[in-house]
């Protein structure tokens, strides 16, 4: 399996739910895809297989996802406080190497 490297995901609060993280990082398009990926055992949080889409992830959490194109690692890091301008979050995520598609 190819390891595609790690990506820092900045969040403005203290926690983010696992399903949200997978969507924000553009690894899935919706909650249903996140649920299926997690149910398949393809997602690990801090080295342990995770089965809960609603799992809260704090700053410093590491998430590994086994995808057909290789393993992707996400790291939750502290970002700037949320000003309500979500374009700033979108720009930070895309700068970190992942294209982001917001609906």
**15-32 pLDDT tens trace:** 999 999 999 999 999 999
Query: What's the number of domains the chain is made of?
Result: 1
Return the H-helix or E-strand segment holding 29.
none
- Residue 57 CA to residue 36 CA, distance in Å, equals 19
Residue 102 lies in a domain: no
Residue 8: inside a domain? yes
53-84: pLDDT as tens digits: 999 999 999 999 999 888 999 999 988 765 55
User: How distant, in Å, are the alpha carbons of 3, 30, 60 from that of 101?
Assistant: 23, 11, 25
How far is 26 from 86, CA to CA, in rounded Å? 15
In a domain, residue 101? The reply is: no
CATH label of the domain that carries residue 17: 3.10.290.10
Write down the pTM of the prediction: 0.74
Per DSSP, helices labelled H in the chain are 18-24, 31-39, 86-95
Is residue 103 one of the residues assigned to a domain? Answer: no
Whether the per-residue pLDDT at 6 is higher than 70: the answer is yes
Domain assignment of residue 34, given as a range? 3-95
CB 79 within 8 A of CB 10: yes
């Amino acid at each position: 399996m190819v390891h595609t490297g790690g990506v820092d995901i900045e969040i403005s609060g203290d926690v983010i739910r696992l399903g949200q993280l997978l969507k924000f990082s553009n690894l899935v398009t919706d909650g249903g895809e996140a649920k299926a990926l997690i149910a398949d055992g393809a997602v690990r949080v801090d080295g342990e297989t995770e089965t809960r889409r609603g799992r809260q992830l704090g700053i410093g959490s590491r998430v590994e996802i086994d995808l057909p194109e290789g393993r992707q690692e996400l790291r939750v890091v502290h970002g700037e406080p949320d000003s309500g301008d979500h374009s700033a979050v979108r720009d930070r995520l895309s700068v970190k190497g992942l294209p982001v598609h917001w609906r």
